[in-house]
Chains A and B, each alone.
Chain A
Amino acid sequence: MIATLDAPAWAPATTLRSGAGYWWTGFTWMLRWHLSSLRMWLMLLVMIQALIGVGYVLGFALFFDEIPPAAALWVSTGVPVLNLILLGMLLGPQLVAGVKEQGGYDFLQALPVPLTAAAAAWYVVTLVGGLPGMVITLVAAELRYHPPFAISPLVVPVTLLIVFTGTMIGYALAHAITKPMTTQLITQALVFVAMGFAPILFPAEQMPGWLASVNEWLPLGPMATIMRDTLTDGLITDAGRAYLVVTVWGVACGWLAVRALGRRR
């Protein structure tokens, strides 16, 4: 008897897919993936962002008998940075750590999507999650303190840059560190640092000199500096260094994350 072997009716393509069209398809699919997996959380996130923004802006005044205008201006221009980095830098790594613990991480890694497309999609999601909070915070600050805002068009690229660097730091934390527990710990500590040990809500001069110098090399303080540079006039005199520090952190962490993701296990 002759055994007949049926050819499979369908076989996966054996050619390597590449090119701009493939990248774009992967990007839109990952965007849809993230948005649909976060769909319940996005509304909650926007509400939390609003609470954080309005809470810090109003709450900071309670520390003073009569809040000095300078302090009001610093907190009003600092909280938007917290809004922008919340999802990408602080919640993102925790989400990934959760996926790792549940065992869904390898599945996500196996999706046939270019690494940069996946990263870009996540970046867009963090941008969408951060912007409403930033706007709400600025409106609350304007209503409460009437600070001398002088918003320059530069605010658009600066916002994009801050979200990029924050998200890439979070991406590196989530993917380059293998133990979810370590990631959780670092992000928890980061929340604390962002509130009290980086010159985001208050001027660096109010910290000891050495801590201020350390912060010049870390990303959080310079992020606040460039945000202030675009929201006010004359508050920041020399922001060039801060732009450079934020950019270098973003690029370095992005490279680290993509390298860690591309590693074969």
Chain B
Amino acid sequence: MNAVTVDVVVPLGAELRRGPAAWVHGFVDMMRFEWATIRPWAALVFIVQIMMGVGMAIMYGFFYPTVDETTALLITTGVPTLALIPMGFVLVPNSVVNQRMAGTFDFIWSLPVPRSAQVSASFVVNAALALPGTVLALLVGMWRYGVDLSLSPILVPAVLLSTVMCVSVGYGMALLVTNPLVVNLITNALVFLVLLFTPIVYPASNLPTVMMRIHEVLPFYPMAQVIRAGLTEGLVTDVGGPFLMVGVWALLGAGLTARAVGRRH
């Protein structure tokens, strides 16, 4: 009788990969995955972002019989905020909704990559798509209204924190609300509220006191303030409070996302 030899087959990926190197590896792979998913639409998303940003910079000027210096400054420094909000609160939730409807959502989550790396990758890709439109909107505003800005170092943390906040809240919302229709409704209502009822391109003093108080704890007005503080001098006196508020929302969004991400089905 011959001796039967059995090769020991080690199943692929039986050992748990972990540590920073595995995370970075997964992050890079997921960034490529995200980019490949979004690539057919990237040009379109890019153009829409630019049109929305530039369009708003020009459009709000039409609302006033005469655009005085203060109004021009408020519009120019408010539009970058307005250009960032749709990215986090419309694009990100919609991409999650599309993944759910197409059935790729569960597939992506089954990939052997840390989920935090997946979320971070999607954040970077979406932010990269949104930032050029934001910058262009700012430039067009400066050109159209002849506004001189004085950039300060605050701008960098302000934009970064705001972007993180928008994406994480948008993500958290899309992950927690599982009904695509409801997500769609929320994002549309948010855009309407942000465009008309949030003191981003007009001073908060135009609002009734109650609404002013409400906006101090919602994320949009503090976000406009920190970005404005990075673009102007003396217009925003207190940046600590708004920074804190944007930070709280970012943490809240990140917490919601982490909760949804960490949950097993």
Q: Which residues of A contact B (CB under 8 A)?
A: 51-52, 55-56, 59-65, 68, 70-71, 185, 188-189, 192, 195-197, 201-203, 206-207
For chain B, residues 193 to 252, give those with C-beta under 8 angstroms from any C-beta of chain A.
196-197, 199, 201-203, 205-207
Sorted nearest first, the 6 A-B pairs with minimum C-beta distance are: A196-B59, A59-B196, A63-B202, A206-B62, A62-B206, A207-B62
Question: Contact at A202–B202, with CB atoms within 8 Å?
Answer: no
Known: A55-B192, A192-B55, A196-B55. A65 touches B64 (CB 8 A): no
With A64-B202, A192-B52 given, can you name 15 additional A-B contacts, CB distance below 8 Å?
A: A52-B192, A55-B197, A59-B197, A60-B196, A62-B197, A63-B63, A63-B64, A64-B64, A65-B206, A195-B59, A196-B58, A196-B59, A197-B55, A202-B63, A206-B63
The winner among A56, A196, A201 for most chain B CB atoms within 10 A is A196
A-B contact pairs, 22 of them (CB 8 A): A51-B192, A52-B192, A55-B192, A56-B196, A60-B63, A61-B206, A62-B202, A62-B207, A63-B201, A63-B206, A64-B202, A65-B203, A65-B205, A185-B44, A192-B52, A196-B58, A196-B60, A197-B62, A201-B63, A202-B63, A206-B64, A206-B65
Bound: A202/B65 CA distance, A: 9
Interface of A is mostly: helix
Known: A56-B196, A59-B197, A201-B63. A64 touches B55 (CB 8 A): no
Question: Contact at B196–A62, with CB atoms within 8 Å?
Answer: yes
Nearest-Cβ distance from residue B222 to partner chain A, whole angstroms: 18
B56 in the interface, Cβ–Cβ < 8 Å? yes
Question: Contact at A55–B59, with CB atoms within 8 Å?
Answer: no
A-B contact number at CB 8 A: 57
Residues of A close to B192: CB separation below 8 A: 51-52, 55
Residues of B close to A64: CB separation below 8 A: 64, 202, 206
Bound: A207/B65 CA distance, A: 9
For chain B, residues 119 to 174, give those with C-beta under 8 angstroms from any C-beta of chain A.
none
Nearest-Cβ distance from residue B43 to partner chain A, whole angstroms: 12
For chain B, residues 53 to 73, give those with C-beta under 8 angstroms from any C-beta of chain A.
55-56, 58-60, 62-65
Q: Which residues of B contact A (CB under 8 A)?
A: 44, 48, 51-52, 55-56, 58-60, 62-65, 192, 196-197, 199, 201-203, 205-207
Nearest-Cβ distance from residue B196 to partner chain A, whole angstroms: 3
Residues of B close to A192: CB separation below 8 A: 51-52, 55
Interface of B is mostly: helix
Bound: A203/B64 CA distance, A: 9
Nearest-Cβ distance from residue B4 to partner chain A, whole angstroms: 57
Of chain B, the residue at the smallest CB distance from A71 is B65
Nearest-Cβ distance from residue A136 to partner chain B, whole angstroms: 16
Question: Contact at B62–A202, with CB atoms within 8 Å?
Answer: yes
Residues of B close to A189: CB separation below 8 A: 51
Residues of B close to A56: CB separation below 8 A: 196
Residues of B close to A59: CB separation below 8 A: 196-197
Known: A59-B196, A62-B196. A68 touches B65 (CB 8 A): yes
Question: Contact at B202–A197, with CB atoms within 8 Å?
Answer: no
Residues of B close to A60: CB separation below 8 A: 63, 196
The winner among A62, A201, A207 for most chain B CB atoms within 10 A is A62
Nearest-Cβ distance from residue A260 to partner chain B, whole angstroms: 25
The winner among B55, B192, B196 for most chain A CB atoms within 10 A is B196
Question: Contact at B206–A55, with CB atoms within 8 Å?
Answer: no
Bound: A102/B51 CA distance, A: 30
Residues of A close to B205: CB separation below 8 A: 65
Bound: A68/B202 CA distance, A: 15
Residues of B close to A185: CB separation below 8 A: 44
Bound: A206/B65 CA distance, A: 6
Of chain A, the residue at the smallest CB distance from B193 is A55
Nearest-Cβ distance from residue A264 to partner chain B, whole angstroms: 33
Question: Contact at A196–B196, with CB atoms within 8 Å?
Answer: no
Bound: A90/B144 CA distance, A: 30
Residues of A close to B206: CB separation below 8 A: 61-65
Residues of B close to A61: CB separation below 8 A: 206
Bound: A64/B203 CA distance, A: 9
Of chain B, the residue at the smallest CB distance from A193 is B55
Bound: A189/B64 CA distance, A: 22
Of chain B, the residue at the smallest CB distance from A70 is B65
Nearest-Cβ distance from residue A254 to partner chain B, whole angstroms: 29
Bound: A59/B211 CA distance, A: 12
Residues of A close to B56: CB separation below 8 A: 196
Residues of B close to A68: CB separation below 8 A: 65
Question: Contact at A197–B64, with CB atoms within 8 Å?
Answer: no
Of chain B, the residue at the smallest CB distance from A68 is B65
Nearest-Cβ distance from residue B95 to partner chain A, whole angstroms: 16
Of chain B, the residue at the smallest CB distance from A195 is B59
The winner among B52, B197, B205 for most chain A CB atoms within 10 A is B197
Bound: A236/B5 CA distance, A: 97
